[in-house]
Amino acid sequence: MAEQTTRTDVNTLGEFGLIEHLTGNFEVKNSSSLKGVGDDAAVIDNGGFLTLVSTDLLVEGIHFDLMYSPLKHLGYKAVVVNLSDIYAMNGRPKQVTVSIAISNRFSVEALDELYAGIRAACEHYQVDLVGGDTSSSNKGLLISVTAIGQGEPGKVVYRNTARVGDLICITGDVGAAYLGLQILEREKQLFLSNAAIQPDLEGQTYLIGRQLKPEARKDMIEMFAQQQLIPTAMIDISDGVSSDLTHICRQSGVGAFLEESGVPIHPDAQQMAIKFGLDPITTALSGGEDYELLFTIDPNDVDKVKYLPDIYIAGEITPAADGIQLHTKGGNIHPITAQGWKHF
């Protein structure tokens, strides 16, 4: 390695800061590159449909723990999290490439399990596996998935187009995947301290399922098409509502407020948060990996979503100067800060 006179730790930048730092000075050279770094997916004009491209790395020990992630679920999730990025552009995923790096502790049978999950996701979402690469690794398993989708010109939804007065909507419920992870981590620690202790996962199917086998909101994109609704901005909730709403606000140059009562929380998540001594709303806003959609709509479109199942109006876009705030049920106002997943 070349000698360096200065050494800046990557932690000083954080994940988003690092991406901005590394890719900020790349200029776009092709007119077909409509959108590059900075949204859920890149947007490419091919003269017909728009091509959407999104890519994610999943690293053992960082993003997943094979002590409690069955390989089949992991394969499923690796695909789903990428498809979610395509849906978050109001697009339809069509293809995926899957590359894996594996240490020699993985057998063919183990990889078959992984690919059974990948296949199940491809079946469920009707996407095609069209490529990939396999390599050995010196340590652990790494999965790199790229999803390719189609978008219609004029209907692709970005992060940077929310406007003051737009309503903020959240699909499904949030915070459950994070609590599922906490349960799995707790049981792992108990098991490590005493292998005779059997995991106590009784009655936690919902939360654990949200962590181990998330689904992407294909149904929402289909519903938008039926309702002829085009959100004004959209992102998938991978890092947590706080972090993902902050992305929309920062990129759109706006502020926002969320009503605590409008943020959808599953009853199991509500109870489990309290059991863990956590504040349910904080967990709901900071917990990542729900893969729900957070989107904004023109207030004139409110009738198109008001009676739809599983969509919750959670707040409103405000001028940037107002910041990003939570209006609590008790009538207090708290600033919302981006937290998200810190993998570094």
28: contact with a copy of itself by CB under 8 A: yes
Q: How far apart are CA 124 and CA 140, in angstroms?
A: 28
111 binds a copy of itself (CB under 8 A): yes
Is residue 321 within 8 Å of residue 254, measured between CB atoms?
no
**Residue 136 within binding range of a copy of itself, rule CB under 8 A:** yes
The answer to whether 198 contacts a copy of itself (rule: CB under 8 A) is: no
**Which residue of 77, 87, 113, 224 would you call a contact of a copy of itself, by CB under 8 A?**
113
CB 85 within 8 A of CB 96: no
6 touches a copy of itself by CB under 8 A: yes
With binding defined as CB under 8 A, does residue 109 bind a copy of itself?
yes
Shortest separation between residue 252's beta carbon and a copy of itself, angstroms: 20
Residue with tokens 């007119």: 31
For the CB of residue 170, give the shortest distance to a copy of itself in the complex, in Å: 24
Instruction: Please list every residue from 62 through 101 that binds a copy of itself, using CB under 8 A.
Output: 62-63, 66-67, 70-72, 94-95, 97, 99-101
H/E segment holding residue 58:
strand 50-59
Which residue from 78, 79, 80, 144 is in contact with a copy of itself, where contact means CB under 8 A? Answer: 144
Using CA atoms, how far apart are residues 199 and 182, in angstroms rounded to an integer?
13
Interface pick for a copy of itself out of 140, 165, 262, 323 (rule CB under 8 A): 140
Three-class SS of residue 162? coil
Applying CB under 8 A, among 80, 137, 180, 248 the residue interacting with a copy of itself is 137
Report which DSSP code applies to 341: -
Q: Is 159 a binder of a copy of itself (CB under 8 A)?
A: no
Helix (H) or strand (E) holding 180: helix 176-193
User: Cα dihedral sign for 281, 285, 286, 292?
Assistant: positive
Is 59 a binding residue for a copy of itself by CB under 8 A? The answer is yes
Smallest gap from Cβ 165 to a copy of itself, in A, equals: 31
Selected range binding a copy of itself among 32-40, 225-233, 253-261, 267-275, rule: CB under 8 A? 32-40
Specify the residue, 39 or 260, whose C-beta has the smaller distance to a copy of itself.
Answer: 39
153 lines the binding site for a copy of itself (CB under 8 A) = no
- Is there binding between residue 343 and a copy of itself (CB under 8 A)? yes
18 contributes a contact to a copy of itself by CB under 8 A? yes
Under the criterion CB under 8 A, does residue 131 sit at the interface with a copy of itself? yes
Q: Which residues contact 173 (CB under 8 A, 6 or more apart)?
A: 264, 265, 266, 269, 284, 290, 292
SS3 65: coil
Of these, 4, 194, 228, 300, which contacts a copy of itself (CB under 8 A)? Answer: 4
Handedness of CA 168, 76, 271, 305 (dihedral sign): positive
Query: Containing H/E element for 281?
Result: helix 280-286
Alpha-helical (H) ranges within 24-91 are: 71-87
